[in-house]
Structure 1
Amino acid sequence: MRFIMLTVLLDMVAIGLIIPVLPALVGSFTSNQTEQAEAYRLVTLAFGAANFVCSPLLGALSDRFGRRPVLLIGMTGLAISFFTTALATALWMLIAVRVLSGAMQANAAVANAYAADVSSPEDRAKNFGLLGAMFGLGFMLGPVLGGLLGAIDIHLPFFVAGSLAIINGLYGYFVLPESLPADKRSTFNWAKASPLSAFKALNALEGLGPLVAILALSGLAQFTLHTTWVLYTQMKFGWGPLENGQLTCVFVDHGLLRLNEGDMVMDMFAGRLHAKVIRVDASELFLGALAGVTDPEKKRKIIGGLFVDVFKAEADKLKAGTGGHKGATFLAQGTIYPDVVESGGTKTKKATTIKSHHNVGGLPEQLGLKLLEPLRELFKDEVRELGVALGLPADMVYRHPFPGPGLGVRILGDIKPEYVKLLQRADAIFIEELRAAKDATGKSWYDLTSQAFTVFLPVKSVGVMGDGRTYDYVVALRAVQTSDFMTADWAELPYSLLKKVSGRIINEVRGINRVTYDIGADHRPTFAERRGRRLEARRAPTPDRCTGRATVRLVEPRPRRRSFDCRARPLGAPALGGGAAARSPA
């Protein structure tokens, strides 16, 4: 199986190489964008039609002569088509060569047949999944390499793709074994080799009709994007092969993220989504600038300003490191409509400013970048619907929102590195227990709440651990439920869950000896807007989330401990077995 996996990977890399540069090559034979679009349509149609006609033909030939010789012929034909494409001097030559390329790329059907031959019934689904992964990996690596090479010369990716196809053919010739024994081969029949006969055969298999329809629609959606994306970005934004083949994400780590969240971001985007991510550790810069600042709005302004500065420095590095290419051109931001509302940035200019968002209000001119905000007009629930439709991981789509300034606005008052560490550990315990706790239906309380977090309060309280007195900090837990993320009410978490969370925080986080739960409602202005329709209604000022509200103090009682290294238990906890006495806070 590993032989055919490597064969498919090399095949897909070679095909993906030409995606960012093919429209530019077509454009070299036309005089304007209209002619280019029409010519590109013909080139794409030639490839697709040849692939459609030849897939069952190559399949039938592989049933007669074996999989290996047909695969080798396909690899050789692809190599010839790539080299000929690079050397084409007229549009008609390019269209003719794409017919050959489409016909030879039809050996993907033979690769699937090969995988079926070498797979046992119990391993067949797994092996087809691995084969699909190779298709995806090849289509991921190919455009990136093609974009880099195309920035040098638009013909270069075709020569490299042809070379890869030759390497693939040599590998297949010397290493790839035959999967279909001679005694299992069938006679060649032209009736079986036509697309219409393939449809008839599928129709005869009960239950496969809906599956074929789904696969056809899925393929239509995928290849529509592949064939139009590069042309669209070229005409709309002036992108060249490099931009279309390469996306660079800049992750500014300001040191105010949740526990281990920086590593989780890298795992999600670089590890699972295979994006190119530059991680910038700017924690010392941000914490130094925030020292002594207590006003939350000033914190937001400082964090937003520093973010722009750090990003600009990284963008300048990208521009300087692209071999004379113009480098970074766009800044893509995940701004959503509630950000605009809270920053007072609605088109009607009637919304009052609740809090500043660094991603609202445009970019400083010195950045020299164009702004892309595809989600700016969507509410959070609409963004999640889009994420599901795009097939993004569920834990990314339904992850609780986290503010851009991070823990900087969840530490009330002055921000110190030790406060950040205490809050990170307490918040991690809260989120962990929310994920672990289930309601009667089996759904976790993390999924049942819309947002949950811990707030560090700039006050200390007296507590006791064993026979020792403690004087440590207080944190507030906050969990809300909402449908639109514009208004919210506190979540009625079970007492047993709150008891466990508070007990773990007090026991495990040295420096915190009291836990409260915030039960205030969040009355933000109510907005109704869906796809261009806006209605602004009555507004009410937003009270502070952690002051001026009724709170329920929660403590975890536990037996008196004799060790001097134990944590403090807040005073005022009820007595529990072991002789611990309940006292009033001093």
Structure 2
Amino acid sequence: MSGRLLPRRNAAIAFILVTALLDVMSMGIVIPVLPQLIETLSGSSSGSGLWNGLFVALWAGMQFVCSPIIGSLSDRFGRRPVILISICGLMLDYVLMALAPNLWWLAVGRLLAGVTSSSFTSVFAYMADITAPEDRARGYGLIGAAFSAGFVAGPLLGGILGEVSLRAPFWVAAGMSALAFIYGVFVLPESLPPEKRMAFSWRRANPFGALTLLRSHRELSGLAVVNFLLYFAHHLFSAVFVLYAGDRYGWGAWQVGSLLALVGLLDMGVQGLLVGPVVKRIGDRRTMVIGLAFGAIGIACMGLAPTGWMFVAAMLPNALWGLAMPTIQSLMTRRVSESEQGQLQGANNSVASIAGIVSPLFFGGVYALSVGADPTLPFIGSAFLIAAAVLGGAALLGWLAGRRDSSDGRLLLDNDAVGH
């Protein structure tokens, strides 16, 4: 870590957290109104479903392609210019969508949103630059808490603004991005010194080349699979939660919205307050495994819950799932050099994008087979039980991968000596 960075380290961390909060809020604000705007521009409720699905796929596809490119650019030119340019691009993107006269303009906006949102790879790389390895889980937990806060506040604010106008949330989102850009121009220092930068290479920057990094470091392979399984299980909620809540418990929009806000608050508490102390007490690897195990237990209880109140109660053990994400990130950053942090985060985001494309299709199909007059799968909670099994497998794989890495003389995954 550069000595000249230390006096401004706290300001840099504050900027990263504020940027993450504002960026996620700006994305969350448009969630309640985007489907309605699509329906308005398409003139058809049935056609809007197809367009909305296409826009989700476009966003995820651009994340897959661009995340490693953005990450590699930050390894070459530094984190600061990449983050600031991406924020500025996001601001212009929201202006474009606010003015969109037809669906094709809106489609271009979603493409640009996928590109500019890939800057999160640089945000995670920045945190790796300015924190010691033993503090990274806590740093990533703070980023996760900022994300959760944004996902709580964004949709709530978007719903209020949507009552005024379907275009208003896009203008406010653009304003938030502009605020983050101006703040960053005056506050954000560079975190990656020139002597630690890596030449840009399309061989590494393309998504398949970036994934090679995960295969080339043997100790990363198991963690990369764990990361994929975590994201795969997580997309269960975006795929079927609203349908499941309505079909099984008769919940409407306000119950679902309130529950999602509660999920965000619980996740914010776990990642912002618990990750640091738990990691300090038992280490990264054990914290990761415990988080995945409680996630599996919570999701299984959700699938088995016969009443809505029991489903809500299952959210408590499930919230500890938030221990897993920052610790996986922390463990992986220890296995690459400072000049590869951007590429690593790009590869991780590509893995998440693949899960984001495949998982909703899978769980949507499973749910379709478990409902109806004569369902192929006899239990409506089958998708939740499958997701729980996926997380349970991830916990086992994470534990075995950690034991393997510790036994071959490489860096310990978790500094298991308590009190490190």
**Is the CA contact (8 Å cut-off) linking 1:144 and 1:246 kept in structure 2?**
no
**Is the CA contact (8 Å cut-off) linking 2:75 and 2:197 kept in structure 1?**
yes
Of 367, 378, 387, which residue of structure 1 is paired with 2:314?
387
CA distance in 2, matches of 1:113, 1:27: 38
CA distance in 2, matches of 1:100, 1:270: 26
**Is the CA contact (8 Å cut-off) linking 2:148 and 2:265 kept in structure 1?**
no
Of 178, 182, 199, which residue of structure 2 is paired with 1:166?
178
Q: Relative to structure 1, is the Cα distance of residues 247 and 130 closer, same or farther in structure 2, using a 3 angstrom cutoff? A: closer
Structure index of larger Rg: 1
DSSP-derived class of the 1:107 partner: helix
Q: Relative to structure 1, is the Cα distance of residues 21 and 84 closer, same or farther in structure 2, using a 3 angstrom cutoff? A: same
**Is the CA contact (8 Å cut-off) linking 1:17 and 1:157 kept in structure 2?**
yes
CA distance in 1, matches of 2:95, 2:120: 20
**Is the CA contact (8 Å cut-off) linking 1:23 and 1:230 kept in structure 2?**
no
Q: Residue 162 of structure 2 corresponds to which residue in structure 1?
A: 150
Of 222, 238, 241, which residue of structure 2 is paired with 1:210?
222
Gaps of 5+ in 2: 1-12, 270-301, 322-377, 381-420
Shift of 1:46: 0.9
TM alignment of 1:97-116, pairs within 5 A:
97-116=109-128
Shift of 1:172: 0.7
CA RMSD of aligned residues (A): 3.9
Shift of 1:211: 2.3
Shift of 1:229: 6.2
Q: Relative to structure 1, is the Cα distance of residues 198 and 386 closer, same or farther in structure 2, using a 3 angstrom cutoff? A: farther
CA distance in 2, matches of 1:104, 1:185: 22
What fraction of aligned residue pairs are identical, expressed as a percent? 35
CA distance in 2, matches of 1:155, 1:231: 27
Residue 17 of structure 1 aligns with an amino acid whose one-letter code is I
**Is the CA contact (8 Å cut-off) linking 2:148 and 2:264 kept in structure 1?**
no
Q: Relative to structure 1, is the Cα distance of residues 231 and 124 closer, same or farther in structure 2, using a 3 angstrom cutoff? A: same
**Is the CA contact (8 Å cut-off) linking 1:150 and 1:157 kept in structure 2?**
yes
Shift of 1:62: 0.7
Residue 155 of structure 1 aligns with an amino acid whose one-letter code is R
In the alignment, is residue 19 of structure 1 matched against residue 31 of structure 2? Answer: yes
Of 198, 213, 217, which residue of structure 1 is paired with 2:210?
198
CA distance in 2, matches of 1:71, 1:248: 29
Residues 26-77 of structure 1: CA deviation (Å, up to 9, x unaligned): 1112343331111101111111111111110011111111100000111011
Residue 80 of structure 2 aligns with an amino acid whose one-letter code is R
Q: What TM-score results when the alignment is normalised by the length of structure 2?
A: 0.58
Of 56, 59, 63, which residue of structure 2 is paired with 1:51?
63
TM alignment of 1:218-229, pairs within 5 A:
218-223=230-235, 225-226=237-238
CA distance in 2, matches of 1:97, 1:234: 31
**Is the CA contact (8 Å cut-off) linking 1:66 and 1:179 kept in structure 2?**
yes
CA distance in 2, matches of 1:94, 1:3: 30
**Is the CA contact (8 Å cut-off) linking 1:79 and 1:166 kept in structure 2?**
yes
Shift of 1:9: 1.3
Q: Residue 120 of structure 1 corresponds to which residue in structure 2?
A: 132
**Is the CA contact (8 Å cut-off) linking 2:19 and 2:180 kept in structure 1?**
yes
In the alignment, is residue 141 of structure 1 matched against residue 146 of structure 2? Answer: no
Q: Residue 351 of structure 2 corresponds to which residue in structure 1?
A: none
TM alignment of 1:182-193, pairs within 5 A:
182-193=194-205
Q: Residue 506 of structure 1 corresponds to which residue in structure 2?
A: none
Shift of 1:170: 0.5
Q: Relative to structure 1, is the Cα distance of residues 392 and 116 closer, same or farther in structure 2, using a 3 angstrom cutoff? A: closer
**Is the CA contact (8 Å cut-off) linking 2:145 and 2:268 kept in structure 1?**
no
CA distance in 2, matches of 1:238, 1:392: 21
Shift of 1:213: 2.3
**Is the CA contact (8 Å cut-off) linking 2:145 and 2:267 kept in structure 1?**
no
Residues 127-156 of structure 1: CA deviation (Å, up to 9, x unaligned): 111111111111111111111111222211
Moved over 6 A (4+): 227-240, 268-271, 373-376
CA distance in 2, matches of 1:222, 1:86: 30
DSSP-derived class of the 1:95 partner: helix
DSSP-derived class of the 1:188 partner: coil
Q: What TM-score results when the alignment is normalised by the length of structure 1?
A: 0.42
Q: Residue 181 of structure 1 corresponds to which residue in structure 2?
A: 193
DSSP-derived class of the 2:41 partner: coil
Shift of 1:269: 9.4
Residues 456-496 of structure 1: CA deviation (Å, up to 9, x unaligned): xxxxxxxxxxxxxxxxxxxxxxxxxxxxxxxxxxxxxxxxx
Q: Residue 33 of structure 1 corresponds to which residue in structure 2?
A: 45
- Specify which structure has the higher proportion of strand: 1
**Is the CA contact (8 Å cut-off) linking 2:38 and 2:51 kept in structure 1?**
yes
Shift of 1:375: 7.9
**Is the CA contact (8 Å cut-off) linking 1:377 and 1:531 kept in structure 2?**
no
CA distance in 2, matches of 1:190, 1:133: 33
CA distance in 1, matches of 2:54, 2:264: 36
CA distance in 1, matches of 2:63, 2:264: 33
Q: Relative to structure 1, is the Cα distance of residues 387 and 83 closer, same or farther in structure 2, using a 3 angstrom cutoff? A: same
Residue 91 of structure 2 aligns with an amino acid whose one-letter code is A
Shift of 1:90: 1.2
Q: Relative to structure 1, is the Cα distance of residues 390 and 105 closer, same or farther in structure 2, using a 3 angstrom cutoff? A: farther
Gaps of 5+ in 1: 250-267, 276-372, 395-529, 533-586
CA distance in 2, matches of 1:35, 1:200: 39
**Is the CA contact (8 Å cut-off) linking 1:19 and 1:230 kept in structure 2?**
no
TM alignment of 1:230-241, pairs within 5 A:
none
Shift of 1:235: 12
Q: Relative to structure 1, is the Cα distance of residues 176 and 269 closer, same or farther in structure 2, using a 3 angstrom cutoff? A: closer
DSSP-derived class of the 1:51 partner: helix
Residue 152 of structure 1 aligns with an amino acid whose one-letter code is V
In the alignment, is residue 80 of structure 1 matched against residue 7 of structure 2? Answer: no
**Is the CA contact (8 Å cut-off) linking 2:78 and 2:191 kept in structure 1?**
yes
Q: Relative to structure 1, is the Cα distance of residues 127 and 70 closer, same or farther in structure 2, using a 3 angstrom cutoff? A: same
